[in-house]
Structure 1
């Protein structure tokens, strides 16, 4: 079995909020190799540092966070608030999928609080479809992958769509055993955590993550959980490999 996972989300720290507990379980319990990619380097993620400086800091933080689960970090090098489904980012994400050849891909919910997340979801869905097609020539030196990977959408931020309606996950993964690893990975994004500490006077960065994980955990009677929906459109894999691996 191919034991490679690719997580493609918008910004450094998105994976840590949305699916790091599940990633940690897959590494620890099932021996998977994890790649965490972000569409941007988080260039708008500071009120005091310029875009180049904060981008460099946040890419380093992303690499540190990924290394906690022996993972590898990648940046697609788009810009914050300017992530759109178009030719260039589609080619870049398709190329990354071909290089990594994952069995499972995680990305954002199709409906979320900001457009970067929604557009990333569209790009990743399309790239997963394109990656096995030989005549979709993303890069002549990288061969197409054998078939479309399993594609999963993480919960939207706070579990709601842009209208405030609850988005119900198809299933939940118990992350009680890895919630501290998830917290350690999120804490690696010190530039964002420190900014919120300064402005809110509390560690809201970690508190909000723990609160939502606990909220989702209550749905299945555990201390902490992460929710997912599987893309089940025509030609995408139909078996729930993630549920089979961690919920069996």
Structure 2
């Protein structure tokens, strides 16, 4: 049975910034199946298109980026700046987990510059705990009998916050890093699929080149570990979650 990794991030290009190198290595080196999910379709990410138009474009970009590494893309259809920890959103994430059945899950840092990221992190944390509980979706509207509860809580990893800091600019250090030097070009090709975001990020964030920005952050984390490019993570180690660092065991830590 093929092992599965699932990244659940807020927006369609977040995985490409934060954890795609690790996903690529799991697929290439270990034969894992990979799924990438976004909580929203990125419907606010344009100054030229309507929300419906940019959402359609960005779903396509997300699917193309995932397909570039043989992965599947999912959108949970919340809306930008409206990702909230609530019952409907939590049920969506639990249903996705039960459908995909991942052994490893990646999500945002609990502390980040963007509330969509922080709310996504909380939703994924709660959903990984809830997904093995049969009563959680029992008799809920839309419950899918084809996808029973998970057998156990998956390994949960938090990616670096963007630029490695919280909302107050305080550094958040990763617990370990994964060397992604050998796959940085593949990661760049995934991110380049999100062409619609270049103009938007130039206008709103002052960032002119998605791929260069990603590589610069990867190089910063790599320099801290003595390699060319790296991605940083912290593992959720709360009660009942797996405590063995499966990702580090599979890919090494730097």
Residue number in structure 1 paired with 2:252: 247
Query: For 2:107 and 2:201, how far apart are their aligned partners in 1?
Result: 25
**Closer, same or farther: CA 198–243 of 1 in aligned 2, 3 Å:** same
Per-residue CA shift, 1:48-77, capped at 9, x if unaligned?
A: 100000000000000000001100000000
| RMSD after superposition | 1.6
Residue number in structure 1 paired with 2:103: 103
The TM-score normalised by the length of structure 2 is 0.94
Residue number in structure 1 paired with 2:89: 89
Q: CA deviation at 1:197?
A: 5.8
**Closer, same or farther: CA 74–199 of 1 in aligned 2, 3 Å:** closer
Equivalent residues of 1:6, 1:36 under 8 A apart: yes
Return 5+ residue gaps in structure 2 as ranges: none
Query: For 1:33 and 1:224, how far apart are their aligned partners in 2?
Result: 23
Query: For 2:194 and 2:133, how far apart are their aligned partners in 1?
Result: 36
The TM-score normalised by the length of structure 1 is 0.96
Residue number in structure 2 paired with 1:19: 19
Query: For 1:73 and 1:140, how far apart are their aligned partners in 2?
Result: 20
Query: For 2:2 and 2:152, how far apart are their aligned partners in 1?
Result: 12
Residue number in structure 2 paired with 1:160: 165
Query: For 1:212 and 1:109, how far apart are their aligned partners in 2?
Result: 16
Return 5+ residue gaps in structure 1 as ranges: none
Q: CA deviation at 1:3?
A: 1.0
Query: For 1:200 and 1:129, how far apart are their aligned partners in 2?
Result: 34
Q: CA deviation at 1:195?
A: 3.8
Residue number in structure 1 paired with 2:73: 73
Query: For 2:206 and 2:76, how far apart are their aligned partners in 1?
Result: 33
Equivalent residues of 1:2, 1:102 under 8 A apart: no
Query: For 2:155 and 2:12, how far apart are their aligned partners in 1?
Result: 23
**Mean Cα deviation higher: 197-206 or 134-143:** 197-206
**Mean Cα deviation higher: 130-139 or 54-63:** 130-139
**Mean Cα deviation higher: 1-10 or 17-26:** 1-10
Query: For 2:200 and 2:80, how far apart are their aligned partners in 1?
Result: 18
**Mean Cα deviation higher: 238-247 or 203-212:** 203-212
Q: 2:189 aligns with which of 184, 187, 190?
A: 184
